[in-house]
Amino acid sequence: MKLFEGKKGLILGVANDRSIAWAVAKEILDQGGTCGFSHLPDKPEDEKRKNRMRVSKCVDSYPNQTAFLEPLDVQDDVQVTEFMKMAGEKLGKIDFLLHSIAFADRDDLSRDTVETSRAGFKLAMDVSVYSLISVTNAARPFFNSNASVLTMTYFGGEKCVPGYNVMGICKAALDATVRYLANDLGPQSYRVNAVSAGPLKTLAGVAAGVGEMQDYYGYVAPLGRCVTHEEVGRSGAYLLSGYSGGITGEILHVDAGYNIMGSPGRLLYEFKKPS
């Protein structure tokens, strides 16, 4: 029997086939699960509906396991409520919920944190943090027993990662939100966790210069490399499965061990090499 056979849930935040959310979703689908997907709403003038098309290219390979693909604006409370009602109607009970949603204005990301605009701070926090609270609360009436919620975080919320700026503050708040939601929902046997992945080449990651970070991880991380989409996907699926039944409120680092290091590790030897 496959790990997710007979299980149904929601995948929120797939942008394209390089998304971390898709890596997790693909593992769930390969393990027999049925998923409902959201996508970013397309602008009315976008006749090609590019946001929907990118996600559709992913899920088209699993027609019998894709319950629906619908737009969702997590800043709109009415949309969130209606989306979850629709999910309940089409899926019945929800066994798992993946939240992989974050956003900050490019101008705020590119400037020093001290110069973050008030409007940009509110926007980043609303989309990247409050949305986890919002979608979890709206989905809660449809949760099956022992339902699991997972979000995606990053080490920049624990330590300062230059260039991550306001998003690092958002991830710190997201990490705290995981713990408080885990406490709130624990009595109902619902679990809430997060995966903290190493840098991967996603749509957002490439724009942030993730390639240089991957090289750096190759020197510093104990495994001497960065992680893969598949490794993060399997770890995320694990936290959404019954195999992790005793785990809640945790941040699982899938980063080749980078987070344990207190020094630049092997990179020190590179500096010491004779010229």
Tokens of 244: 């992790």
Residue 48 neighbours by CB distance under 10 Å: 8
Catalytic residue of the set 62, 154, 217, 258 = 154
How many angstroms separate the CA atoms of 86 and 70, rounded? 10
- Residue 243 appears among annotated catalytic residues: no
Concatenate the DSSP letters of all residues of 56-96 into one string.
HHHHTT-TTTEEEEEE--TT-HHHHHHHHHHHHHHHSSEEE
Tokens of 187: 């009595």
Of the candidates 158, 228, 234, 232, the residue with the CA atom closest to the CA atom of residue 3? 234
Which residues, 6 or more positions from 219, have their beta carbon under 8 angstroms from its beta carbon? Answer: 264, 265, 266, 267, 270
Catalytic residue of the set 130, 164, 190, 217 = 164
- Residue 154 appears among annotated catalytic residues: yes
CA 136 to chain centre: 14
What are the catalytic residues?
154, 164
